[in-house]
Structure 1
Amino acid sequence: MIRRLRAGVDSLTVRVAVMLAAALLPIGVIAIAQSRALIRDSRDQSEVNLLALTSEAAANEEALMRTAFGAAQALAGIAPELLSLGDDCHEAMTSFVSDGATFAFAGIVSAEGLALCSSGGEVADLSGTTLYQKMRETPHPRATLSERGAVSGRSVLVVSYPILDEEGRFMGYTAVSQPHVQFFRSLEQLSAERPVDLVTFNEAGEPLSIKNGMEGLEENLPEGRTLDSFVGKPQHAFTARTASGERRVFAYVPIVPGLVYGLGSWDAQNLGLSWNRVTAIVPLLFPVLMWLACLIVVYIAIQRQVIQPTRDLRARMLLFMRSRRIAPVRAQARPAAEFREMDETFVRMANSILHDEAELEDALHDKTVLLREVHHRVKNNLQLIASILNMKIRKAHTPDAKVALRDLQTRVMGLATVHRSLYETSLQGRVQADELMRSIAMNVLNAGQVESKAIEVEESYAPLVLYPDQAVPLSLIASEALSNALKYGGSDPGGTARVSIRLDAEPDSGDAVLTVVNSRGSVPMTETEDMEGSGLGNQLILAFTSQLEGRVEQEDEPDHYTMRLRFPLAEFREDAEEAAE
C-alpha cells in the first residue's frame, strides 16, 4: 500500500496537479465568466445605443433624401409626357419646385446632356458636368454634392435618377437638388449632453454633408480610414482616434441602403453611454494576477520536473550517438518516476545497440574477408585459363585460330582484371572505374602485338565508382572496342596511327560515356593477316550494352572510326548497401 502511494506521488501528473491546485485555489470564489459576460453585455448595449443615436441624428437627412429620390424616380417615370409639353414643361417644373418647399431645382436632362425641361426656365447644357459623365457611364440612382449648382448657383445636394428605354438604353436622367443648409437644422435639436458630429456620404465615398463644413472632414474620420472603406459594411460602432489624436466613438449606419450612409462620432469622454474603463478593469484585475501567478508556478514546475530531466536525457543520447559512451545520471533532486523509467530504458537500449554493433562489425569483417578471397580465387582461375589459352596460341597452326584464341584470351583477362579490382579495392564491393579501364587498356595493348612505332594511345578516365553489375559488362565492352580499334585501325605509310579511349561523366543527365576512336588508313596497326571480321565483337558489344541499359553510337569517317557508349550510372545508396550487408 505504501509503495503504491509513493509511486503515485512520484508521478509527473500528480506533481503538476498538486502545484496547479495550490496556485488556483484562491480563484475558486471569483466569477470570471460572469464579469466578462457583464462587460460584454454593457458594450453591446452601448453599441446599440450609439447606432440608435446615429440613426436619430440622421433622421432628417434620411427624410430629405428619401423625398428627393422619390421625386426623381417619379419624374423619370413621367419624363416622356413632360417633354411632350414643350415650353409648358418648364412651367410645370417651376411649379413642382415651388410646391415642394425642400427643392431648389428640378429638371430632365437628355442623353446629350441638355436640360430640356427644368425649373430654371431655360435649356442648359450640362454635358460638361461630372454628374452627367457619371450617369452616362454608369446609369443608376446617385446622390452627389455640388458646391455651386449649375442652375441654382448655390451649394446643393443633387439626387439623380436614370431614364432608360424598354431595352435598357440610357435616354437621360432626372435631377432634383436640395439646399445644402437643410441637412444641418435637425442637428441643433439634439440634446446638448450628447453632441454628435454627423457625416453623410454616397456609395462612392464622397461626402454629402458635414456638420462643421467640408474643411472639417478629417476631424470627423478615424485616423487611417476613408469614407469608401465603410461602404457595403454592416452597421457597427467602434472607438478610434482622429487625425489630431482625439479619442472618439464612431457609429456607422446606412441612411438610404446602397446609396447614402452616415458616420456619427462623439467625444469619448463626454459620451454618457460609454462604460467606465476603471470599473470594467477592476473585476478582472484580481483573476489576471492570479492567472499570472499560476503561469509562474507552472513554468517553474515544468522547468524542474519536465524540461530539465528531458534535456539531461537528450544530452546523454547525443553523447552516446557521437562517442558510443553511456554517461552517468547527473546528481540532482529525485526525478519523476516516468523519467526514471525512460532513463533505464535508454541505458538498456544503448547496451543492446553496442552489443549488436559489435556482432555486426565481426560479421561484416568475416564477410569482407570471404568476399575478397572469392574474388582473388576467381581472378587466379581466370588467369590460369588465360595462360592455357596462351599455350594454345603458340601451338596453333593457322592465323585464324591464333586470332580467335587471342580474342578469347583478351576477354578472359578483362574479367580477371575486374575481379582483381574487386579484391584489391577498399570500396567494399565497388570498383574504381578509372583504374579498371587503365588495366583493361594495358592488357589489350599488350596482347594486340602493336608495333611500338606505329601507334599513339590517348587515355582519359573520369574517377567514377561502379558496381560489379556495371563494371563487368563495361570492361568487356571496352576490351572488345579497343581490340576492334587495333584490329581494323591503321595509318598512311610513314604516318602515325592513333587510338583514343575516354570515360567521361555527364552530371546533368547522370550518364557515363565511353568513347573509343581509332584512325583509318591503308597500313594496319597490328600484324593480323586476316582483316575480315566475323562480327562477333560487335555482337558482344551490343549484348553487353543491353545489360547496361545503354545505347551505342557509331561514326564511320574516312580518316577515323568512333564508337560511343552511353549508359546511366547506378546511384550508390549507402543505406541499401548497409542493409544488404
Structure 2
Amino acid sequence: MQTPNTDNAVSQGRESGVKALSQKLVVRIAFLLSLALLPIGLVAMGQSWRALHITNDNLEASIHARTAALVAPERQALFSKIGTASALADTMGAAELSITDCTAIMQRVQESNPRLAFAGLLEPGSVSNCNSIGRRFEFLPDARSDALFANPEPYITFNPQGSASELPVIIVAYPTFSSDDVLKGFVTISFETEPLLQSDTATGPNRDVALLTFNKFGDTLSSFTPDGPITDYLPSGLAFDGFVNQGDTFFTATTQTGETRLISVVPILPGEVYALGSWGRAELQRTSAPWFTISTLLFPFLMWLVGIIVAVVSLNRLVLRHISDLGRRMRRFATYRDVETSEKIDDAPSEILTINETFEGMADQLLRDEADLENAVFEREVLLKEVHHRVKNNLQLISSIINMQVRQVASPEAVAALRQFQDRVTSLASVHRALYQEPSLTHIRFDVLLGDLVSQVNAVGSAQYRPVEIDLVLDPVTLLPDQTSPLAMVTTEALSNAFKYGGPGPDGVFRLKVHLKETTEGGTTHVRLVIENSVEAETSADSGSGLGKRLILAFASQLDADLQETETDDRYMLSISFEYQPFTPD
C-alpha cells in the first residue's frame, strides 16, 4: 500500500516527465505544425463534409429520378386518362346531350381506349344514366363521393373490384358543369391496373425495389414488390397523405421486417397522385458506403498525420540527430576533455556545420588555455614551495645560530631569553615546513602542525618534569596561512609558558591538556583551542605577565579571537576561540 509521500513522489515524477516531454523540440514542432495545419484541416474537413453531402444529394436525386422513371408508364396512363376525362367533362358541360348521344360518346371513348373498363357520367345520388355499358347503373353509396359532390374537384382513386367491371381499376373522375355553372356530375373513367414494373425492368439495378402509387387521400392506387406484400417494404405507421402537396422526399427507414431501406417519394400528378419507391441494400450501401465516408472524413486527419510525420522525420534527419551527436560530443568534452570527431556531421546543414566548427575551435582553445593555466599553476606552486622551503631553511639556520650563541652565553637569564626566541623561530619554521609539505598551498592541516609543536616543546621543556602526562585531543582543522601563523605563535607561547610556569599537581604529575575543536552553528564555523596545565600551589599568579603574555594578546588580536584565561589553585587554562576564515580567491 502506497503512502501519501509515495503518491506525491509518483505524481511529481509524472509531472516532471510530462514537463520534460513538453520541452522536447519534436513535441513543440509537432504542436506548432498542428496549429499551422489546423485551418487547412478545418477547410479540408468542411470540403469533405460538403463532398459527402453532395454525394448524398446526387444519390438522392438519382433515386428520385429512377423512381420517377419506373413509374413513367403509370404517369403517362394517368395523364392520358385525365386528359380524356377533362375533354369529356368539357363536352358534357358545353352541350345538352340526350342520354342516347351521351352513351354513344362514352362507348366510342371506351372503344378507342382498350384498357378502359368504364366511362360514364356519374350524377348526384351515385347514379349513371350515360355510360359505356349502355344502361342505367347505380353505384354503391360512398361517403367520399357525397363529399365530392358537395365540394366538386377532380380526384383519382383505386377500387380493387370495380362496380361495373368487377376488376381492379383506377378511377379518374372530373367534374362537369353546365353553362350556368351548375354541377351536372362527374365524368368517370376507370381502367384496369397493370404491374408497375415489367419482368424485363425488375432486374439488374431494380431487382430489389418496391413501388407504390397513392392519391391525395392516402389511398393506394397500385404497387409492385419483388416478393411478399408491399407492407413488408414500408415502415410501420407510414401515412401517405403526409406527402401530399410536397416535393420530392427522401429518407431512410426501417421496415416492419427490420430491414433498413431508402424511401423515395416523387409526385406523379402534384397534389393528386404520388409514387413511392422503397430501395434495398444495394442502394443503401451506395449511400452509406463506410469506406467512402471514413476515407473522406479521415482525409484531413491523414493529411495532418502525414504532415507531422514528414516534418518530424525531416527535423530528425536534418537537425535533431546532428544536435544530439553534437550534444554527446560536448558532454564527452566536458567530462573527459576529449574532442571527438564525428562522421555524421558531414551531411549536416551549413548552420550546424558552423556550430560544430565553432565548438571544435572553442574546445581546442580551451584545452590550450587549460594546459597553459596548469603549467602556470604548477610553476607557481613550485615557486611557492621553493620560497617556503628557503624560508624554513633560513629560519632553521637562524635557530642554529641562536643555539651556537646559547653555548657561548654564561648568564642563565640570557640563555632563557635566547631559548624562548629560538622556540618562536622554530615555530615559524614549522609553519613554513607544513606549507612546503602540503599538496595545497592555500590550506594547512593545523591539527597536524599542532601535534608537531606539542612534540617540539615537550622535547625541550619536559626535561625538568618527570613524569609528564599530555592529553591531546585534536579535531581535523584546516586553516589558511593567514590564520595558521598567528595561531601557531599563540600555541608556541602558551606551551612555553605552560612548561615554564607550570608544575606538578598535588599528585606530583605534570599534566598538559591540548584540545582543538571545530564547531558549526547557524552557518558559521568557529575554531577553539584550549591549553591547560597543572601548577604548583605556591607559584605566583603573576608569573606569566611578561613578553610571552603580550605576544599572545597581539597574535590573538590578529585572529580577532576571544581570549580567556582561567586559573585555580592547581590549574591554569588558556582558551582562544575565533571564526574560521574561508578561502576567497582574488
The two structures have a TM-score, normalised by structure 2, of 0.48
Greater RCO (CA < 8 Å, at least 6 residues apart): 1
Q: Which has the larger radius of gyration?
A: 2
